[in-house]
Amino acid sequence: MTKFSQTDGFKASDFFREANAHLGSEPATPVIDTVIVNTKKPQAPVLLRYKKEKAAFVEPDVEHIKAVGARVVAQAVVSNHVHKKAKGDALQRSLIRHDAGKTAAIVWDLIK
């Protein structure tokens, strides 16, 4: 999900570009060579809650990432679990997260 006033309008390729820039690479020669991109939108009620915060789903524009030579694993890795705020937690936290099991399985397949 995007974050209002920080990543408005960002697509997956924008996060990829910015991560590479922070690592010191040039746009045509990314340091990151493999990217896991979520392809599944969260459920409508969750999207509505994010919309109130002026946040939006990060579009999986994988072709833009592939165009610079990076390998893309595009799968549904969003968790179906909506996280609730814990009592006493003063921080504003995300409602949704990546599914740790699905993400770990992809990483494991990449490294074995």
The structural domains of the chain, with segments of one domain joined by +, span: 12-111
Q: What is the band of 41 on the pLDDT scale with cuts at 50, 70, 90?
A: very high
d(CA 10, CA 81): 24
Higher pLDDT, 6 or 45: 6
Residue 15 structure tokens: 């996060």
The residues near 30 (Cβ < 8 Å, ≥ 6 apart) are 16, 20, 68, 69, 70
pLDDT at 45: 86
d(CA 33, CA 14): 15
CB-based burial label for 96 (10 Å; 0-12, 13-18, 19+): buried
Indicate the pTM of the whole model: 0.85
pLDDT at 90: 64
pLDDT digit string (tens) for 50-87? 899 899 999 999 999 999 999 999 999 998 766 666 67
pLDDT at 104: 96
pLDDT at 97: 80
